[in-house]
Structure 1
Amino acid sequence: MREDFLHYIWKYKKFQINNLKTTAGEPVVVTSVGQHNYNSGSDFFNAKLKIGEQLWAGNVEIHINASDWFLHNHEQDPAYDNVILHVVWEDDTEVFRKNSTPIPTLVLKNVVDEALLTNYQRLFAKENKWINCEGSFAATDAFVLTNWLERLYFERLERKSETIESLLQASNNDWEAVLFKMLTKNFGLKVNGDSFFSLAQSIDFSIVRKTQSNLQALEALLFGQAGLLNQDVENAYYSALEKEYQFLKVKFKLSNSNVLPIQFFRLRPPNFPTIRLSQLANLYATHQNLFSKLIEGNTLEDFYNLFKVSTSEFWKTHYTFQKESKASTKMLSKSFIDLLLINTILPIKFSYAKQKGQEIDAEILEIASLLASEKNSIVNAFNSLKKVSKTSIDSQALIQLKTAYCDKHKCLQCAIGNALINT
């Protein structure tokens, strides 16, 4: 038995509300269960009850065992003097306020539907399961699942907007600077994401603004801060970058001591950091006001056109500084742009609209619905239970479901868990 289950029972009145009685035999009529409190203090504020012939307005405290009142030292806390009802599963002792007056106690154990309790126990059975409902996930009603996934998608956008808001504060509300940091991180993908983000953090965006009209200078800035210009390489392009970076380093008092190491290991050549940094430099050399253009874009085609960039000339025949390779135009692929849309562009547009008090949920959904589902271990595992992830809305929602609900056993706050418990 978990205390959050008792909160759920009380909050949604999942008990026999007629003929309720306290342990002292007084009848209880619940007019309002009160407001659920997730912070310190009583579990429910401002409940309205009739106990015996007396009308009460105050707080409700819930415990598995009545003795938990003393275990939590509530008898010493004057904040609990306004508790009008103690709701418990097991009544193992009488409880008192600080002034020694007894608090009426209601026992839920005998007034909860047996089927609800059985479903709850089945859901939380202690087995080695990936998620609690994995045996029942496939049977989830399609309407419940679709609506829940859409809600989870926006929950994930909200979570990402918190990161964006934090970056905004650190950047004096400079949206272009925040976009640069988030784009740089996502150009690094999973392997180099943190390294690329530390690289972006090491450069004041004003320096990017001053160098972005010169592609070679911008490449030198990114490669140099990434620690990629300290090798023993002999070619004209590398020497030019090295010379340019030394000039920029002195001019702008640059330091890369906090930049995390860049990785090449286990990456396909098109994802090498050299290629991604050159593409990023080309993107900013091509678009002087990238943030404004992203905000103005409202179709998938707008974004594909905006990100139609490749590397500089040297990288058409190289993947590293040292070794020449077969010539190829290394454009940003559609699948890569899709990842940028999912992880950077749509969250940025959502956060910006939120700050401006604008409603663009329908626009966000329309674009996200056109992007294919991501492929990762979480999405693959859900799909093995039921083929559910078709678009980026689904895959982002499933990541949110697993990390914010399943992993934390918040089944009672999940639409799927609720549906299973109330079957």
Structure 2
Amino acid sequence: MQEDFLHYLWKHKKFDVSNIKTTDNESIHVLSVGQHNLNAGPDFFNAQLKIDHQLWAGNVEVHIKSSDWFLHNHELDKAYDNVILHVVWEHDTDVFRKNNSKIPTLELKSYVSKLALNNYEKLFAKSGKWINCEHDFSSVNNFEMSNWLERLYLERLERKSEDINTLLMTSQNDWEAVLFKMLVKNFGLKVNGEAFLSLANNIDFSIIRKTLTNNTTLESLLFGQAGLLEQDIEDPYYLELVKEYEFLKQKFSLSNKNVTPIQFFRLRPPNFPTIRLSQLATLYHQNQNLFSKIIEINTLIGFYDLFSVSTSLFWESHYTFGKSSKKSKKVITKAFVNLLLINTIIPLKFSYAKFKGHNIDDSIVSLIESIASEKNSIIEKFNSLKLVSTSALQSQGLLQLKNEYCNKNKCLQCAIGSSLLHSN
């Protein structure tokens, strides 16, 4: 038995509340369970109860056993003087306030159904399961599952918006600069994401604004800051970039000493950092008010059109500076645009709307639902239990579920766990 389970039972009235009594046989009528307190002090603030027809307003404390009151030294703490009800699983002793007045006690085990208790024990049984509800996940109602995953996705966006707010503060409230940093990081994918972000952090966005009218100049800036112009290569285009970067270094007092080294290892050629940086340069060269365009667009097709850019001419026949390859136009794929939408564009649109005091949840949900589900080991495992992820909204919701609920045993705060606790 865990106290969290008792908190859950009290908070959601998941027990027979129609005829509950204190351990002294006084009737209890719950008008309000109070506000759940997750910090120090009593577990529920500002509850309202009628005990033996007397109206009480105050706090509620929850314990496994009544004697835990003394184990935690609450009798010495004035913060607990306003407790009007002690909710316990097992009553083994009376408890008192500092003025020696007795606190009414509710013993929950007399009112919780055996079925709910069995479901709780089954859910939290340790048997090497991937998630606690692994064996019963498939039984959850589709409508309930869908609503919960949508809530989880919006919860995930809220968390990401906190990171964006931090970026905004460090970028002097320049949304274009925030977009640039986020895009650069995501163009680096997992292998070079942090390295690309360090690159972006070492270029003031005002310099990007001053160089984006010339694609070669912008490429030289990105490649130079990435440390990719420090080889001994005799190629006219490479030498042009080196010369241009040396000029930019002097003009803007640039340094790449704090930029994390770029990696090529374990990457497919289309994802080489050279290709991604060239595509990024083309994107900004062709769209000098990129942030405004992103805020205006609300359809998947619109974003596919916006991001349908390729590399500069040199990279059509190269993947690296030192070696030529078969000529091909290296356009940003729809799959890559989907990643940018999931990880950068949609979180940014959501955060900007919050910043402006607007609610665009419905349009955000419509957009994310139009994107195909992500494919990774977590999503595949959930789908093996129950085919649940058919869009990016659901795959993002499942990632939030696994990382923030399943991995942390927060089944009692999860709609799926709650459903299973009260299933027949």
Aligned to 1:120: 120
Q: Distance between the aligned counterparts of 1:350 and 1:311, measured in 2?
A: 29
Aligned to 2:10: 10
Aligned to 1:257: 257
Q: What is the Cα-based RMSD across aligned positions, in Å?
A: 1.5
Offset, 1:32: 1.8
- Greater mean deviation of Cα atoms: 10-19 or 56-65: 10-19
Aligned to 1:156: 156
For the residue of structure 2 that corresponds to 1:382, the secondary structure is helix
Q: Distance between the aligned counterparts of 1:230 and 1:98, measured in 2?
A: 74
Count of aligned pairs between the two proteins: 423
Give aligned-pair identity as a percent: 67
Offset, 1:381: 1.0
1:138 paired with 2:126, answer no
Aligned to 2:43: 43
For the residue of structure 1 that corresponds to 2:181, the secondary structure is helix
Offset, 1:5: 0.8
1:417 paired with 2:421, answer no
Aligned to 1:395: 395
For the residue of structure 2 that corresponds to 1:109, the secondary structure is helix
For the residue of structure 1 that corresponds to 2:324, the secondary structure is coil
Q: Give, as a single letter, the amino acid of the residue that structure 2 aligns with 1:264.
A: F
TM-score where L is the length of structure 1: 0.96
- Greater mean deviation of Cα atoms: 202-211 or 224-233: 224-233
Distance 1:85-1:355 versus aligned 2 partners, 3 A rule = same
Q: Give, as a single letter, the amino acid of the residue that structure 2 aligns with 1:263.
A: Q
Offset, 1:59: 0.2
Q: Give, as a single letter, the amino acid of the residue that structure 1 aligns with 2:411.
A: C
Distance 1:241-1:98 versus aligned 2 partners, 3 A rule = farther
The answer to whether the Cα contact below 8 Å between 1:372 and 1:392 also exists between their aligned partners in 2 is yes
1:363 paired with 2:363, answer yes
Aligned to 2:52: 52
Aligned to 2:297: 297
Offset, 1:68: 2.6
Offset, 1:108: 0.9
Unaligned runs of 5+ in 2: none
Q: Give, as a single letter, the amino acid of the residue that structure 2 aligns with 1:56.
A: W
1:312 paired with 2:292, answer no
For the residue of structure 1 that corresponds to 2:320, the secondary structure is coil
Q: Distance between the aligned counterparts of 1:352 and 1:338, measured in 2?
A: 20
Q: Distance between the aligned counterparts of 1:191 and 1:250, measured in 2?
A: 30
Q: Distance between the aligned counterparts of 2:34 and 2:351, measured in 1?
A: 33
Aligned to 2:284: 284
The answer to whether the Cα contact below 8 Å between 1:14 and 1:113 also exists between their aligned partners in 2 is no
Residues 385-418 of structure 1: per-residue CA shift (max 9 Å, x gap): 1111111111111111111111111111111111
Offset, 1:233: 2.1
Q: Give, as a single letter, the amino acid of the residue that structure 2 aligns with 1:10.
A: W
Distance 1:305-1:106 versus aligned 2 partners, 3 A rule = same
Unaligned runs of 5+ in 1: none
TM-score where L is the length of structure 2: 0.96
Offset, 1:212: 1.0
Q: Distance between the aligned counterparts of 1:41 and 1:339, measured in 2?
A: 44
Q: Distance between the aligned counterparts of 1:302 and 1:22, measured in 2?
A: 63
Q: Distance between the aligned counterparts of 1:415 and 1:8, measured in 2?
A: 12
For the residue of structure 2 that corresponds to 1:23, the secondary structure is coil
Aligned to 2:170: 170
Q: Give, as a single letter, the amino acid of the residue that structure 2 aligns with 1:180.
A: F
Aligned to 2:83: 83
Residues 118-153 of structure 1: per-residue CA shift (max 9 Å, x gap): 111111111111111111111111111111112222
1:405 paired with 2:410, answer no
Offset, 1:44: 0.8
Q: Give, as a single letter, the amino acid of the residue that structure 1 aligns with 2:87.
A: V
Aligned to 1:111: 111
Q: Distance between the aligned counterparts of 1:79 and 1:343, measured in 2?
A: 44
Q: Give, as a single letter, the amino acid of the residue that structure 1 aligns with 2:43.
A: D
Q: Distance between the aligned counterparts of 2:259 and 2:66, measured in 1?
A: 54
Aligned to 2:61: 61
Q: Give, as a single letter, the amino acid of the residue that structure 1 aligns with 2:42.
A: S
Residues 9-53 of structure 1: per-residue CA shift (max 9 Å, x gap): 111212222442323343322222112222322111111122235
Aligned to 1:186: 186
Q: Distance between the aligned counterparts of 2:13 and 2:243, measured in 1?
A: 72
Distance 1:19-1:297 versus aligned 2 partners, 3 A rule = closer
Q: Give, as a single letter, the amino acid of the residue that structure 2 aligns with 1:345.
A: I
Residues 209-238 of structure 1: per-residue CA shift (max 9 Å, x gap): 111112122112111221222223221222
Q: Distance between the aligned counterparts of 2:363 and 2:29, measured in 1?
A: 47
Offset, 1:55: 2.1
Aligned to 2:230: 230
Q: Distance between the aligned counterparts of 1:36 and 1:196, measured in 2?
A: 42
Q: Distance between the aligned counterparts of 2:68 and 2:257, measured in 1?
A: 52
Offset, 1:82: 0.7
- Greater mean deviation of Cα atoms: 25-34 or 159-168: 25-34
